[in-house]
Amino acid sequence: MNAKTSPATEASLVVPGLPTPSHPEGGFFTLKSPPVTINGTKDQVLDVLLRVEAYHSWSTFLCDAGNIVHPENINGGENSHGEIDPSLVTVGSKFDVTFRLFPNFPSMTTKSTETIVSIEKSEEKYVVTWKSSDVAAERVHIISDPEEGYGTCTYETYETFQTSMKTYIMKWFLESVLTTGFGEWSAEVKRATEGRMSIGHSEDPSRTWGHR
């Protein structure tokens, strides 16, 4: 297995790609961020990930998300109190995302539609997987308890791309852009989670995040 690492963000491009729930055989290549330690619980990080319409207020790379369409007869995801929240995505929910490729050129973006494939919870870790309908790719988010420490958790994420003309272009021409943005995303998840906790609101992003 070969991996190229971005010095600024330490995100890696791994060849061949790592396995995902839908593609246990792996794929063409994987973008992988190193684990980050977050001062927060697994539930708090999960809430940040699943509250996609708030992405625009804290992420520079995945700078916008919305147009949520939940599965039939489902009104939203379940929050940490066991209540249904329409602003939380759940398994089968679809939503549109906008990626900002170059931070210094805000108008240079690309869009995709994602679908939540699975949300798996165990005592040790939570795993969220979504897939793209615009490029053959599946992304995995892993939130786990650390081996030591209390009140913290570890977050890591990777996305595996299958072979296609579009993914060839992405790998050969946009590698540095993707590894930089992917690495920054993990740091932003950390800042977003810890920022909400410091203000004292766990599930009201409009009261905790400034708009970018």
Measured CA to CA, the distance from residue 98 to residue 200 in angstroms comes to 29
Domain that holds residue 63: 2-200
| pLDDT on residue 151 | 84
Q: How far is CA 43 from the centre of its chain?
A: 15
Radius of gyration of the chain (CA): 16
Residue 211 lies in a domain: no
pLDDT in tens, 169-181: 999 999 999 999 9
Residue 205 lies in a domain: no
Residue 121 lies in a domain: yes
Residue 153 lies in a domain: yes
| pLDDT on residue 1 | 59
| pLDDT on residue 198 | 62
| pLDDT on residue 80 | 84
Prior bond to 19 cis, omega within 30?
A: no
Q: Which segments in the chain show pLDDT lower than 50?
A: 4-8, 202, 204-212
What DSSP letter does each residue of 78-101 carry, written as one string? E-TTS-EETTS--TT-EEEEEEES
Measured CA to CA, the distance from residue 62 to residue 45 in angstroms comes to 16
Provide the domain count of the chain. 1
Number of alpha carbons in the 13 Å side-chain half-sphere of residue 162: 13
Residue 206 lies in a domain: no
Structure tokens at 15: 């060849």
Residue 57 lies in a domain: yes
**CATH number for 50:** 3.30.530.20
The pTM of the full predicted model, rounded to 2 decimals, is 0.88
Residue 185 lies in a domain: yes
Residue 207 lies in a domain: no
